[in-house]
Amino acid sequence: MTTDTAVSTPDLAGDSLAREAWRRLRQNQAATLSLVLLALTTLACVIGPWLTPWGLDEVDWNAFLTAPSLADGHYAGTDANGRDLLTRVLHGGRVSLSVALVATLVSLLIGVLYGAVAGFLGGRVDNLMMRFVDIMYSLPFMFLVILLMVVFGRNILLIYAAIGAVEWLDMSRIVRGQVLALKRREFVEAAHALGVRGHKIVTRHLIPNAIGPVIVYVTLTVPKVILLESFLSFLGLGVQEPLTSWGVLISEGKDMMETAPWMLLVPSVFLALTLLCLNFLGDGLRDALDPKTR
């Protein structure tokens, strides 16, 4: 956690929340570096597979289990079937990152709706809805997700939905708390008193104030989701051949680590680096968006 030592000058013009946060984020070197690295990784995974000379399932009959080398074009070596590892890691990255994106959106959608409704309605409904969340919290979810994958087969759409359906609990709590706290604040009352219309209060006052924690939490959900997907893939319950993901590749690499350590190291580095960057970025965003540290 880096603390911002720079004192921001009081800006009388009144910057927008987004611009202010962006400026503070850029002062955080670790977060900026993470953002750049993440952008590069994403770019590599999206366009990389077209640039490498090998296909996802293409077998190079001259190179089985060869170590990384610049000479033969297998920059990260090959696996036991003579497939180019770099190509596979980039393809796997597409799957892992797409799961991260979609599953996070699913959890965001469920969590925000559920939390906002509970917080807005309040009273008995709120009580009931939050009791339900409490019960969900105490379920051993990992086991249910594993069961789900076993039951319905290894289908990527199901992975999106299952992971999203598991990760919405924290989001709903955060949003509910925000809505509950904000709807009684003085500035909302003041807006009412000044005759601001209801929808205007929601868009001008409630949403901008609630969105900070949500954004921060989304950044922290993404690594969790990637982790869950690779955990499932590692256990052999994730995506299916010919698709691959970082978890699948790590699992394959683990079995070959004594003869071909690069098969374990390359996907591990990609996964670990991505997760690390996302965590740094999340921390940085929290510092940048938290109104209390302003």
Residues forming contacts to other proteins in the complex (CB under 8 A) are 1, 3, 135, 138-140, 142-144, 146-148, 150-151, 223, 227, 230-231, 234-237, 247, 250-251, 253-254, 257-258, 261, 264-265, 268, 271-272, 275-276, 278-280, 283
For residues 208 and 236, which CB has a smaller minimum distance to other proteins in the complex? 236
Whether the CB-CB separation of 158 and 149 falls below 8 Å is answered with yes
DSSP β-bridge partners for residue 78: 84
For residues 207 and 257, which CB has a smaller minimum distance to other proteins in the complex? 257
Determine the Cα–Cα distance for residues 221 and 207; give it in Å rounded to an integer: 20
For residues 147 and 190, which CB has a smaller minimum distance to other proteins in the complex? 147
As measured in angstroms, the least distance from the Cβ of 3 to other proteins is 7
DSSP β-bridge partners for residue 83: 59
From the list 88, 92, 112, the residue with the least C-alpha distance to 221 is 112
For residues 99 and 201, which CB has a smaller minimum distance to other proteins in the complex? 99
- Residue 28 phi/psi, 5° resolution? -90, 105
Give the CA angle between residues 116, 19, 289 to the nearest 5°.
45
As measured in angstroms, the least distance from the Cβ of 227 to other proteins is 5
What secondary structure does DSSP assign to 34-51, as a single string?
HHHHHHHHHHHHHHHHHH
As measured in angstroms, the least distance from the Cβ of 265 to other proteins is 8
As measured in angstroms, the least distance from the Cβ of 8 to other proteins is 19
**Residue 166: C-alpha distances to residues 104, 155, 204, 228, 229 (Å):** 10, 17, 31, 10, 12
Tokens of 279: 């965590």
As measured in angstroms, the least distance from the Cβ of 172 to other proteins is 17
For residues 71 and 135, which CB has a smaller minimum distance to other proteins in the complex? 135
As measured in angstroms, the least distance from the Cβ of 230 to other proteins is 7
For residues 3 and 62, which CB has a smaller minimum distance to other proteins in the complex? 3
